[in-house]
Structure formats: structure tokens, C-alpha cells
Amino acid sequence: MLLPHQPLQEAVVPSQRISAREQAGPWHSEAVCRRDEAGLFFAPSKEPTAARLSREEAAKRVCARCPVMVECREHALLQPEPYGVWGGLTAAERRVVLARRRRREAELQRSTRIAAAG
């Protein structure tokens, strides 16, 4: 148990695994969307389809110029984030990417088992 005056210990990660960007701070501190309206990235309730598509395209344009788009996308895929535009992908697009990754992983496992058996 930590006492109020004790600092939290940080995990030590081998330096070769930490990128220069990570050493500078968390990826989201560099995200372009931090300067934009959050409403652009998340749907209001009962949003008409045409408005949603337009808003998502505008959000993707913001993502396209973001220096941490890849990190943001990976965060959203690993969490997985169920809503909003993250890393230039909508929630539906992220579900497709995740399904493809699962299929690819399953195929790789099958081919590894076949190679090991043969």
C-alpha cells in the first residue's frame, strides 16, 4: 500500500524498445485532434446518415495530417475502442481490420501446426 507521500514506481522498459516519440511523452500529446472539436470524432445521438458520413470524412482528413495516426489507430484496435474515428478509421472499419487480423493469425497458426506435423 502506498502512503500519500510515496511516489508511484514506473515500470522499467528496455531503452531499445522505446521510440524517440515515446520518450518525449505519450503519443496522444502530439495528436492533431487535441486541437479540434471532439464532436467531429464522435457521433451525436440520432445523427442522420449523410451527416455522419460527412462528419467522419472531415475527421479522417484531420487524422490524415496527424503525426501519431498510426499509434492512435493501434491504440483503438488494441483497446478496442467501440466508438468514434480513431487513427483515420471508423468503428466499423476497425471491426473489419480486427476480423482480418484474427483470420490471418488463425491461418498462420494452422500453417505452423501443419509445418510442425509434416
Binding-site residues for [4Fe-4S] cluster, in ranges, read 33, 63, 66, 72
**Residue numbers belonging to the annotated binding site:** 33, 63, 66, 72
Cβ neighbourhood burial of 64 (10 Å; 0-12, 13-18, 19+): exposed
Q: What is the DSSP letter of 36?
A: S
Distances, alpha carbon 64 to alpha carbons 2, 31, 80, 81, in Å: 43, 11, 21, 19
